[in-house]
Chain A
Amino acid sequence: MNTQNPKKDTKPKISERRRFLSIMAQSIGLSAIGGLIWTGYVEEAKASPLLLRPPGALKEPDFLRMCIKCGQCAEACPYDTLLMARPGDGLPMGTPYFIPREIPCYMCTDIPCVPVCPTGALDQKSVSTEVDGKDQLDINKARMGLAIVDHESCIAYWGIQCDACHRACPLLDEAITLEYIRNERTGKHAKLIPVVHADYCTGCGLCEHACVTEKAAIFVLPRDVAMGKPGDYYVKGWSKKDQERVKNRDLTKLQTKTKMNERSAVDALNAGDEELFDE
């Protein structure tokens, strides 16, 4: 047999030890490939920031870490507001979210979705206030998102009388107020425009649900997406609360990062366009 197949003789033989090491190396290598693909998929899957979470949800990265995807919040919701992300939805699979234009959060005072959470991904403390030394559920403390008004498509901004969102708001005149502004076009009418106040808005989406335009002109976005951040440099000198906010700022770290022009003001103004380009 060896003479028929001389190649077989030249094949190097490997020891059991080498064989074991080779197989381990292969397994680890294949696992590394799998791990890279898997990690890539997970990282992509969790990067969908435009999701509205149930009341009391932790900040998104912590929420994703803590949610066991059991759906008990969605089952507890009496209005079928909460949905569980399915394959094909393009969202982090199995996590609860809601679409206010379809079914908003009706802000139940007993918040049935939060206490049933087994892991604490929905934090009961964050939607409770202390009354006589006891924590009592308070849905008004929920911060599911923030309503944003698109001035271009809101018909109240056109001057047409509409206060659908204002009337739908469960924190009427707190989370949404109507402001009178002069209608410059007619010169003799007022516009009643809705203005959202982030200190009160829970992000329930009842306004988005009620909005009369074809695609809602007021809509809820996650707070991280909808809001800016002034940082420690700018402080409302007239507000005690705002001074509290920056109490612990590190003054040594506050510097202007913009590069100052070293030329004299006259030279800089006469320099024309060239100042606009980097060297």
Chain B
Amino acid sequence: MSSIFKMRYLILRRITQIGLLFLYFSANAYGWKILTGTLSSSTLFQVVPLADPFAVLQMLSAGALMGVNVFIGAAIITLFYGIIGGRAFCSWVCPVNMVTDLANWLRRKLLLDKAERKVWISRNARYWVLVLSLIVSAITGLAAFELVSPITIFNRGVIFGMGMTGGVLLAIFLFDLFGVKNGWCGHICPLGGFYSLIGRFSLIRVRHNQPNCTLCMKCKEVCPESEVLFMIGKRSTTVNMGECVNCARCIEVCDDDALGFSIRDFATNESKGDNR
């Protein structure tokens, strides 16, 4: 029972990720009209439009003059993550997260981190990819990241049939397992970078309670964006950096009740740590 408690958020995340995939799948397979479309653009209960704001941004950069619905949809998603969820898309919705989490788990189990090849990519690379995707979209007249995004490729694969989708996912899995730790989600994926930017002022945040901390550093070990936990053992505050995906793995592994969900701390008004 306690082991399930230790994975409570992980289980919830898998339920939302798989549940959303199933709703999309059932819209096509059984004609359920709960959530139609894919993660790039969908319709909730046949009324509420939803759209991936980054996809819309790329299409605008490509010069597309789109209908109103897609902008309403993008605004709803932007407001939701901007005000409430932060970068929660990455850990609670994105299906590729399941692949990269598996790679990361295997990496820890096989102790691959201890004998790491030196493949160095900056965590800021994703922001370069983000800008690049907008430039390539403008040059080619086609949403450049949307064309190759493994997120929507996986998503469509589940709904419409996989084709060679497995190859794409295997590439990401191997890159994260043998290449760079958290290589795809934490370094390259421009959608993750995009949500880091729009989610940097969101309300739901992980809070660190410093007096309880025993400096075991399990949280930093399990965190996919470990530099956001710069305050561990130093002072009590919320994790305010936009890169935090709100996956809550740090909360689960903490044996000392030093971490938990909370509302953003506005008093220590910093999105990046000063002592980083």
Q: What size tier do the contact residues of chain B reach?
A: 35 or more
Tell whether B112 is near chain A: CB-to-CB under 8 Å: no
Q: Known interface pairs A35-B135, A118-B49, A118-B67. Does A83 touch B164 (Cβ–Cβ under 8 Å)?
A: no
Tell whether B267 is near chain A: CB-to-CB under 8 Å: no
Contact of A75 among B37, B135, B147 (CB under 8 A): B37
Q: What size tier do the contact residues of chain A reach?
A: 35 or more
Tell whether A159 is near chain B: CB-to-CB under 8 Å: no
**Contact call A69/B152, Cβ cutoff below 8 A:** yes
Complex CA gap A89/B159 in Å reads 16
**Contact call B51/A118, Cβ cutoff below 8 A:** yes
- A86 neighbours in B (Cβ, 8 Å): 153, 156-157, 160-165
**Contact call B59/A39, Cβ cutoff below 8 A:** no
- A66 neighbours in B (Cβ, 8 Å): 59, 64-66
- A118 neighbours in B (Cβ, 8 Å): 37, 41, 43, 49, 51, 66-67, 69-70, 73
Tell whether B204 is near chain A: CB-to-CB under 8 Å: no
Tell whether A272 is near chain B: CB-to-CB under 8 Å: no
In the complex, per-residue mask of B125-159: 1 if CB is within 8 Å of any chain A CB, else 0: 00011011101100111111011100011001101
- B135 neighbours in A (Cβ, 8 Å): 35
Tell whether B40 is near chain A: CB-to-CB under 8 Å: yes
Closest Cβ–Cβ distance, residue B21 to chain A (whole Å): 13
Tell whether B210 is near chain A: CB-to-CB under 8 Å: no
**Contact call A94/B147, Cβ cutoff below 8 A:** yes
**Contact call B132/A119, Cβ cutoff below 8 A:** no
- B136 neighbours in A (Cβ, 8 Å): 35, 38-39, 42
Complex CA gap A42/B147 in Å reads 8
- B51 neighbours in A (Cβ, 8 Å): 68, 118
Which of A39, A70, A119 has the largest number of chain B CB atoms within 10 A? A70
- B64 neighbours in A (Cβ, 8 Å): 65-66, 119
- A39 neighbours in B (Cβ, 8 Å): 136, 139-140, 144
Is chain B's binding surface mostly helix, strand, loop or mixed? helix
**Contact call A88/B129, Cβ cutoff below 8 A:** no
**Contact call A87/B167, Cβ cutoff below 8 A:** yes
Q: A: which residues have CB within 8 A of B?
A: 27, 30-31, 34-35, 38-39, 41-43, 45-46, 61, 64-66, 68-72, 74-76, 83-84, 86-89, 92-94, 116-120
- B91 neighbours in A (Cβ, 8 Å): none
- B42 neighbours in A (Cβ, 8 Å): 70, 72
Closest Cβ–Cβ distance, residue B33 to chain A (whole Å): 10
- A116 neighbours in B (Cβ, 8 Å): 36, 43
Closest Cβ–Cβ distance, residue B67 to chain A (whole Å): 4
**Contact call A38/B146, Cβ cutoff below 8 A:** no
Residue of B nearest to A96 (CB): B160
Residue of B nearest to A46 (CB): B142
Q: Known interface pairs A31-B128, A68-B41, A72-B43. Does A38 touch B156 (Cβ–Cβ under 8 Å)?
A: no
Some 26 contacts from A to B, beta carbons below 8 A apart, are A34-B129, A35-B135, A38-B136, A39-B144, A42-B140, A46-B140, A65-B64, A66-B66, A68-B51, A68-B143, A69-B38, A69-B152, A71-B28, A72-B42, A74-B160, A76-B36, A83-B160, A86-B156, A87-B163, A92-B147, A94-B146, A94-B156, A116-B43, A118-B43, A118-B70, A119-B67
**Contact call B41/A93, Cβ cutoff below 8 A:** no
| Interchain residue pairs A-B with the least CB separation, the first 6 | A86-B163, A88-B164, A70-B41, A87-B164, A70-B37, A119-B66
Complex CA gap A27/B49 in Å reads 38
Closest Cβ–Cβ distance, residue A57 to chain B (whole Å): 14
Complex CA gap A94/B40 in Å reads 10
Closest Cβ–Cβ distance, residue A71 to chain B (whole Å): 5
Tell whether B241 is near chain A: CB-to-CB under 8 Å: no
- A83 neighbours in B (Cβ, 8 Å): 160
**Contact call B163/A89, Cβ cutoff below 8 A:** yes
**Contact call A93/B148, Cβ cutoff below 8 A:** yes
Besides the known contacts A118-B66, A118-B67, 16 further A-B residue pairs in the complex with CB atoms under 8 A apart: A27-B128, A69-B143, A69-B156, A71-B28, A71-B159, A72-B37, A76-B36, A83-B160, A86-B160, A86-B163, A87-B164, A92-B147, A94-B40, A119-B41, A119-B69, A120-B67
